């Protein structure tokens, strides 16, 4: 099942872009899609980009991001986007469901990374 991670991330990027541009052009999407789907998709996209950089810099095409690093990134996203930014930037709101979605996205990435050998 080679490249399943790449295909998932490409699909995630395209879906996330569609949702983002839909909101820019005032296309009405269900609230769940508008407010939660991109939070689920962002962690695998960021981790995939990090993985590609790490594979190149470590000169190891089989490198995998450790589970604790994935959890750490999810924790940082949760901290920044749900606790820090809402206090200083009006664009961001505190939503605890987003925290669950960040970690769910991280777990999906971890599982796909294990499959994609």
Contact yes or no for 44/26 (Cβ under 8 A): no
pLDDT digits (tens, 9 = 90+) for 38-78: 999 999 999 999 999 999 999 999 999 999 999 999 999 99
Counting the structural domains of the chain, the total is 1
Domain that holds residue 24: 4-115
Distances (CA, A) of 79 to 30, 74, 75: 26, 9, 6
- The reported pTM is 0.91
pLDDT tens string 81-100: 999 999 999 888 899 999 99
């Amino acid at each position: 099942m080679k490249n399943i991670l790449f295909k998932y991330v490409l699909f995630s990027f395209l879906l996330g872009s569609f949702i983002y541009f839909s909101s820019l052009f005032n296309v009405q999407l269900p609230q769940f899609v508008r407010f939660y789907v991109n939070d689920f998709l962002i962690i695998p996209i960021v981790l995939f980009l990090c993985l590609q950089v790490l594979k190149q810099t470590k000169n190891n095409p089989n490198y995998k991001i450790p589970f604790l690093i994935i959890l750490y990134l999810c924790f940082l996203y949760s901290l920044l986007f749900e606790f820090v930014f809402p206090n200083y930037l009006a664009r961001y709101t505190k939503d605890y469901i987003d925290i669950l979605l960040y970690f769910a996205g991280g777990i999906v990435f971890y599982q796909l990374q294990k499959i994609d050998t």
